[in-house]
Amino acid sequence: MVRSSEARFVGHRVSTGIQTSDGVDFKPRELDRDATFYVAGHRGLVGSAIVRRLEAGGFNRVVGRASSELDLKDRGAVFDYFAAEKPAYVALAAAKVGGILANNTYPVDFLSDNLRIQLNVMDAAREQGVERMIFLGSSCIYPKYAEQPIREDSLLTGHLEPTNDAYAIAKIAGIMQVQAVRRQYGLPWISAMPTNLYGPNDNFSPKGSHVLPALIRRYDEAAREEADSVTNWGTGNPRREFLHVDDLADAVLYLMEHYDGPSQVNVGTGSDVTIREIAETIGHVVGFEGATEWDTSKPDGTPQKLLDVSYLAEQGWTAQISLEEGLRRTVEWYREHRDELRE
């Protein structure tokens, strides 16, 4: 249990122990299982999965603090925490996250909070000389009309999706900060950009959740209430890629032990489905027998968002959990915990 307390890449290369173009002299290797590993956001969807993976992998000093104990927006508190724990490794999974509604309604919050969290954690980690940091962003960093599947070098080549541009800008800034630290301080930090995630400890709130957990909650409630129909936002035509968070956690450890380079690395499954298809699948899994209607007055968001994950696959890592299996696990978890979930 966590203690509370290839060529298409611009400038990319996998380190061979020779100093890279961005000043980093480092060869990826197995991480020390006895060193302190801080997971920022250890109770969230991503962070909790990383904790599970680290503990299963034999890490003995996985640390984290709940937001009630350590506000990552409080710079002084973050610096004090790093000075006390002196972690060797950091996974920065803490973030203010939400779906289309939340991002579109509160862009200031998503920009300001995420920038402060990232700056505080990375600056404190740099001060303590943290050897390995992985910064986790989001596929929304890529342009709305990027060529599909989206390659890593699509970053900053077009306009962002306006409903979540503030959050995307914050995450892009995080990537830039990792690259700046590599150049200026020679620390072998890296970034990973996961696709749409789901799994245990997700946010199932009607106002703050992403599409998949929102659909799980909506269809589960409709099934229990024996409702005649469910209404979803948009047309159902956009295509999305979904990755189980336990697969992401496995990729995080893999990257920290096998990758060194300034470019962010895409993490996903390499396949996608329409929102309509995922809604139908969820309805079937939860036992909903009614009709599904679509409110086309509501925004669809980005028409397609499929990551090119060929680089990571070439390095030896691919996702293992099928969408059907992942959905079944997630629905089971939701039903076990729905009475205690935040509204």
Q: Please give the annotated binding residues, written as ranges.
A: 41-47, 136-139, 171, 194-197, 210, 218, 233, 240, 300
Q: How far apart are CA 179 and CA 156, in angstroms?
A: 15
Q: How far apart are CA 13 and CA 33, in angstroms?
A: 26
Instruction: Give burial (CB, 10 Å; 0-12/13-18/19+) of 183.
Output: middle
Residues sharing a CB contact under 8 Å with residue 325, sequence separation 6 or more, in sequence order: none
**First-to-last C-alpha distance (Å) of the chain:** 26
Asked if 306 and 272 touch (Cβ cutoff 8 Å), the reply is yes
Which residue in 81, 89, 142, 167 is the catalytic one? 167
Annotated binding site for substrate: 218, 233, 240, 300
Q: Is 185 a catalytic residue?
A: no
Q: How far apart are CA 111 and CA 335, in angstroms?
A: 33
Q: How far apart are CA 39 and CA 245, in angstroms?
A: 15
Annotated binding site for NADP(+): 41-47, 136-139, 171, 194-197, 210
Q: Specify the 3-state DSSP secondary structure of 85.
A: helix
3-state helix, strand, coil in the chain (%, to 5): 40, 15, 45
Tokens of 335: 């039903």
Q: Supply the DSSP string of 120-140, one letter for each residue.
A: HHHHHHHHTT-SEEEEE--GG
Q: Which residues are known to be catalytic? A: 167
